[in-house]
Structure 1
């Protein structure tokens, strides 16, 4: 079995970046994905410069946290930004608030505004010199109904041919739930046949708690983790795992598949 362990949220802040660096050095992750609109993209760029030959660096598209890179009056007017007030009651900072739209059908004009934001995020990561290996997203927004038509188009526009699939390593899920998750993959690939995904994607803790299940030898499994975030138990389990002792497991990254 080929195994990708991806650290989400690279670039979120200095603490997350430091934790990701530690996990790379200790051989616990093989990939990470970068947020363009958070506090330490410069730190993420330095990690790329240092570790680009060791792990893959994708983009962690983000419509649910942090500041937009591209201001949209239409999104503000429709309540799709959160706007804080300062102590004087005046308008203050603007934050992304798109999660409310994730499974809704929206107007063409709103789709265009969201697409401009995502293009700005991809282009900012590229401007920092980071070669993007694959696409995933914060809070899995790229797998939502909202993004179903947008994601294949963005991948084609920027020549990114690998994408995180909808989570389908879910030991407790029903077959109907799994069928719907597989349907999403088929609909994405129907629009852009060049997109490559892993066979399975899940959460590191679930894989650990299910006895580090080894799937078929030709299977590619991606597991996500969150070093430096509010996932201390997950980090402990990851640090406890000695991958050299797992028979029939080959650690790979997104640059090595497809």
Structure 2
């Protein structure tokens, strides 16, 4: 098995960037993804300068937390953005699995392009696309994601979380269908076989997946997931059989 361990939320804050730096030094992650609109993009750029030869750096598209990079009256009027105390905030979560009009998609595309371009302008070479709260897998962005990948020459994308023990059979079928629909629109996009959290890859001392597959394991150093961090730090990946640690530059 080829295993990618990706730290989400790089650039969210100085504390998160410090934690990601620690996990890189400890050999516990092989990849990270960067938020363009949060508090410490400069710190993320410094991590890229330091570790670009060791791990991959992707874009963590964000429409659900913090402030948009650009003011957009149409999105504000329609409720996709909210204004509170004189500041504009994202409000996309209620719409993530709804089919939205083309005019709204076009406005969201402007924001996502701005995020990608801001990361690129910081000198960061983007290896792959994923997103905060998995918004890139929602219905509202199904058309946009292959289009953005093609525009910016980013040919790798995070899979939808496709091993969920409590999910119904119909839900699992829909999750697999998403991947097929993305690749149908842009055949150059490469997506891992599986994506999930620690317990969906390795649980109770047993490895759930094996064989000739690629699995991306998501983690959040410096966030609220302290148990997740503990398990990663305690796992000696070099002692696990038939595991090859790779990053998104290697698929």
TM-score by structure 1 length?
A: 0.95
The number of aligned residues is 251
Are 1:244 and 2:238 an aligned pair? yes
CA deviation profile, 1:30-50 (whole Å, cap 9, x unmatched): 000000000000000000000
- Matching residue within 97, 100, 103 for 1:106: 100
Counterpart of 1:35 in structure 2 is 35
Task: Tell me the alpha carbon deviations over residues 209-241 of structure 1, each in whole angstroms, 9 at most, x when there is no partner.
Answer: 353415333100001000000011110011110
**1:190 equivalenced with 2:184 (yes/no):** yes
Report what 1:206 is aligned to.
200
**TM-score, normalising length from structure 2?**
0.97
Choose which of 215, 219, 227 in structure 1 pairs with 2:221.
227
SS in 1 for 2:207: coil
Q: Residues 8 and 219 of structure 2 are in contact (CA less than 8 Å); yes or no, is this contact kept in structure 1?
A: yes
- Shift of residue 206, structure 1, vs aligned partner: 3.4
Contact 1:134-1:163 within 8 A present in 2 as well: yes
Partner residue, 2:169:
175
Measure the CA separation in 2 of the matches of 1:214 and 1:172.
Answer: 15
Query: Are residues 179 and 211 of structure 1, via their aligned partners in 2, closer, same or farther at CA, if it must alter by over 3 Å?
Result: farther
Identify which range, 206-215 or 1-10, moves more after superposition: 206-215
**Distance in structure 2 (CA, Å) of the matches to 1:212 and 1:60:** 30
Map Cα deviations across residues 68-121 of structure 1 (whole Å, 9 max, x no partner).
011101111122212112xxxxxx111111111111121221111100000000
Aligned match of 2:145: 151
State the distance in 2 between where 1:108 and 1:116 align.
13
How big is each residue's C-alpha offset from its partner over 1:145-194, in whole Å with a ceiling of 9 and x where there is no partner? 00100000000000000000100122333332211111000001000000
The answer as to whether partners of 2:201 and 2:209 remain within 8 angstroms in 1 is: no
Specify every segment of 5 or more residues in structure 1 that has no aligned partner in the other structure, as ranges: 86-91
**Which runs of no fewer than 5 residues in structure 2 stay unpaired?**
none
Distance 1:18 1:37 in 2: 18
Q: 2:135 aligns with which of 141, 152, 164?
A: 141
Q: How far apart are 1:57 and its partner, in Å?
A: 0.2
| Superposition pairs of residues 14-29 of structure 1, within 5 angstroms | 14-29=14-29
